[in-house]
Amino acid sequence: MKVNIKKTTIGTMLSVEMKAGDMINLEPGAIFSSTGEIEINSGLAGGLASSALRMLGGSESAFINKVVAKEDLLLEAGTPLPSEIAEVDLNGAMILGDGVYLAHTGDITVSSKFGGLTSLASGAGLMFLHAEGKGKLYLAGGESLFMKKLKQGEKFIVDNACFVGVDASAAIEKFFAGKDLVSKIVGGEGIMLKITGPATVYYQTESPASLATYLTKYFKG
């Protein structure tokens, strides 16, 4: 199986060359097209308890689709809104932001875990999305997606809505950007994340959820 990230007019998508018997895991609703017959098996992500937490923790589905090629084919998949996709060579664990998981191959488990106050910083309520194992992980960031490698002790601050993912071992702190109460409420920045290296941080210029909320204001009828 060969997975390519293909440029579109206003974003990117996955173009997956599959042989008969190949399998890829996808977020429900991600498939655009297929040139051949596929079999889709929808399963709970990480078990019943973890799936319920995944759904309650943010805008994530409780299910992940296992898509199997019944013949040689080309599968296309992506997100409803314009996004940039990153391929992550996962060999360990990552904490992910809300709504950024798109797909994975290999031996990876996607679940939700209780994160206490730390998880609030990633915009996922009391839970955070957790990907663990070895394989290829595909994350979709709104508009543009960036990666930053932090050295030991190096700090990086990112808005919680722009957070995409970071190594699960990274030190993460949350704080309000406003200096006083009024600034905290009307300043527009809200909760920020301070991440201390060593770590690899992925972040986006605009979260799909924030973009959808913004557009909704102009299309209320």
The pLDDT of residue 113 is above 70: no
Whether residue 221 lies inside any domain: the answer is no
Whether residue 31 lies inside any domain: the answer is yes
pLDDT at residue 112, rounded to an integer:
76
What is the pTM assigned to this prediction?
Answer: 0.81
pLDDT digits (tens, 9 = 90+) for 136-164: 999 998 878 999 999 999 999 998 888 99
pLDDT at residue 212, rounded to an integer:
60
Quickly state the pLDDT bin for 74 (edges 50, 70, 90): very high
Comparing 1 with 216, the larger pLDDT belongs to 1
Split into its structural domains, the chain has a count of 1
Contact indicator for 25, 105 with CB cutoff of 8 Å: yes
Whether residue 150 lies inside any domain: the answer is yes
pLDDT at residue 160, rounded to an integer:
83
pLDDT at residue 35, rounded to an integer:
98
- Helix or strand or coil: residue 151? coil
d(CA 56, CA 27): 16
Comparing 42 with 71, the larger pLDDT belongs to 71
What residues contact residue 203 under an 8 Å CB cut-off, 6+ apart?
141, 145, 146, 148, 158, 162, 163, 164
pLDDT digits (tens, 9 = 90+) for 14-24: 999 999 999 99
Whether residue 61 lies inside any domain: the answer is yes
Whether residue 155 lies inside any domain: the answer is yes
What CATH number is attached to the domain comprising 37?
3.60.160.10
The pLDDT of residue 88 is above 90: yes
Whether residue 123 lies inside any domain: the answer is yes
Give me the chain's average pLDDT, please.
81
Q: How far apart are the first and last CA of the chain?
A: 45
Beta-carbon-side half-sphere exposure of residue 53 (alpha carbons within 13 Å): 18
Whether residue 176 lies inside any domain: the answer is yes
Quickly state the pLDDT bin for 181 (edges 50, 70, 90): very low
Contact indicator for 149, 88 with CB cutoff of 8 Å: no
Boundaries of domain holding 87: 2-216
Whether residue 157 lies inside any domain: the answer is yes
DSSP β-bridge partners for residue 133: 92, 108
Quickly state the pLDDT bin for 214 (edges 50, 70, 90): low
Comparing 86 with 53, the larger pLDDT belongs to 86
